[in-house]
Amino acid sequence: MSNSASLECYWNIVDAIVKSRGRETQRYHYFGELWHAIKDSHENRLIILQAPTGAGKTEAALAPFLWDLISSERRWHSLLYVLPTRSLVFNMFHRICKTLNACDESFKVLRVIVDYDYGGFTPFKAFLEGDITITTYDTLAYTFYGFRSYGHHLLLSAGKIAGSLIILDEVQLLQDSQWYSLTLLPYHIANLLIFGATVILMTATLPRILIKEIYKALEVPALRWNIRQPHVHISADPNKNVIMRGKLDISIKNGRLLDHVPKIAKDCEKPLLLVFNTVERAVKAYRFLVNNYYDVKLLHSRLISEERKLREEFFEKRPPSSDLIVVATQVVEAGVDYDFKTVATEISPIDSLIQRLGRAARRSNGEAIVYA
């Protein structure tokens, strides 16, 4: 199949997904750049993709593998979709299942096994049997290196990684105070490439120093084993990719967000998102709003899986409401596709802050308030 024909097939996949959500496809230029790089994945083993929040990175990365499933031409053994937290894993699992259902309405999709795995006790192991596996960074690392953590953490087949397409998403959420996780990540990527995987690293906010460390980590294995590991860095170009968003007015205020919740809830335009750095403060804000009869939803990482699933599905099914208030922690930085008119947040690292502010003004103008 020619390059132009295959790219149009990928666009058909994206169109089917977007149409199922009641939206219109935006044909961003970087989609084509990514697909050209993936088309030559035997040459481009590492692809770094940077694009703004809400610009379709997930659909762009999934389309080539989904088309391979539809056309029965498997370039990769499987797809591993890697995320920082379990809550994001659950969210992506249901999102990919809906994506496959949307494709099935437009194309003939053969039986596809999709599952999630984070090292727990389950009768079915997707690393061994699944076509698409959604997992966490720690499970992938434990599996790859045979590392046993405190308690139990089942090790899965590292052979599943060889020849697979691995998508490393939302890498900015791995940041910690010691930079420990992001120090290890470049060398982990190098080992995945040595093992025969094709890796797509994608995020809206990737620190430049991390990119340099990744390139540095690739130098040693390339020399020692004489393995070519070329990389492609794709960024959404504002001159070519006009991301249709509203204007976001940002203000910085002194004080604690928790102390200003009553005034914000009363005066700010809704739907409103309040983002706290701790579950405790988020719960306090939620209780105040509930006691004052606001239409409010709470979202954080400690919710049980079934309740979290219901609350995340709520955002997909419900159109933007004029009276909704959502109280959340950093879990809202990824995986929640909802257009808020106002975002009020506690101060956080710049990469995290960009993700939070990206929840507002997605389709119309909005306001953001940062409390420092």
Percent of the chain with pLDDT over 90: 23
Q: In sequence order, which residues have a C-beta less than 8 Å from that of residue 296 and are 6 or more positions away?
A: 286, 289, 290, 324, 325, 326, 327
E-only strand ranges, 33-131: 46-50, 79-83, 114-117
Task: Check pLDDT > 60 for residue 122.
Answer: no
Distance CA 80, CA 76 (A): 10
Q: What angle do CA 179, 356, 340 make, to 5 degrees?
A: 170
Size of the chain in residues: 372
The answer to whether residues 89 and 118 touch, using CB atoms and an 8 Å cutoff, is: yes
Distance CA 298, CA 312 (A): 10
Task: Check pLDDT > 80 for residue 319.
Answer: no
Domains and CATH numbers, the chain: 3-235 (3.40.50.300), 248-371 (3.40.50.300)
**Cα-based distances in Å from 119 to 90, 134, 208, 245, 291:** 14, 12, 31, 39, 39
Amino acid of residue 349: P
Confidence of residue 292 (pLDDT cuts 50, 70, 90): very high
The mean pLDDT value for 162-181 works out to 81
Q: Per DSSP, what are the bridge partners of residue 235?
A: 50
Burial class from Cβ neighbours inside 10 Å (0-12, 13-18, 19+) for residue 181 reads middle
Handedness of CA 278, 280, 281, 286 (dihedral sign): positive
The answer to whether residues 131 and 48 touch, using CB atoms and an 8 Å cutoff, is: no
Write down the pLDDT at residue 311.
67
Confidence of residue 63 (pLDDT cuts 50, 70, 90): very high
Task: Check pLDDT > 80 for residue 281.
Answer: yes
Distance CA 12, CA 67 (A): 9
Write down the pLDDT at residue 234.
80
341-361 per-position pLDDT tens digit: 999 999 988 878 888 888 888
**Cα-based distances in Å from 42 to 78, 165, 168, 321:** 16, 11, 18, 47
Q: Out of 29-43, 190-204, 237-251, 290-304, which region has the weakest mean confidence (pLDDT)?
A: 237-251
Q: In sequence order, which residues have a C-beta less than 8 Å from that of residue 212 and are 6 or more positions away?
A: none
209-260 per-position pLDDT tens digit: 888 888 888 877 665 655 555 577 787 766 665 566 778 899 999 999 999 9
